[in-house]
Amino acid sequence: MRQITLSKRINELLVLAVLDHGPAHGYQIALSVEERTGGAFSFQHGTLYPILHRLEDEGRLRSKWHGERRRRKTYHLTAAGRAELAAGAEELERQFQALFGLIRGTHVA
């Protein structure tokens, strides 16, 4: 099983969640994440690309180049990516419940 940090996991899920609404370019993904999270999350300094390329390598995304002279790359979610989004969201929700349970002093069953 692959081991990644929590922040990387969150970033992956942000990208997958945006692409769940339809194919998008890198800049659309970055803007969407920033707008839809009210600025709580944003991709700066090109951090978006390692995430996109990793997810593509793992088969969770697929990309397509458009245009001839000035090319554009569009990403879209695969079935594996959709499944990953569902499983990841569930897992993250459980982890955060446990975290806030600890912080607020409530027990989680």
Partner 1 sequence: MSREHPLKPVERELKVAPRRRLDLIEEVDADARAMQAELEGSGRTSRQARQDALRHFVPADQALEELAARHAPRLGRWARSAGWADRVVVLGVALAATLAGFIAVAALYGYGVPDVAAFVTWPLVAVIGALAANLCWAVTQLLMHGDLRPTQRRLLWNRHAGLLVVAVALGALGAAWVGHATLAPLEPPAIAAPESPMEQPPVWEPPVWEAVGRMATVAGTGLAAAVFGLFGWLALTPRLLTDEEAERRIARFFAQARPQLTLASDPSPEHERRGRP
- Interface residue list for partner 1 (CB under 8 A): 25-28, 30-31, 42-50, 53-54, 57, 70-73
Q: What is the dihedral of CA 75, 76, 78, 84, to 10 degrees?
A: 80
Opening angle at CA 71, ends 34 and 46, nearest 5: 35
* Closer Cβ to partner 1, 14 or 48, answer by number: 48
**Closest C-alpha to 73, from 91, 96, 44, 48:** 48
Q: Shortest gap between Cβ of 77 and partner 1 (angstroms)?
A: 18
Q: Shortest gap between Cβ of 92 and partner 1 (angstroms)?
A: 21
* Closer Cβ to partner 1, 69 or 107, answer by number: 69
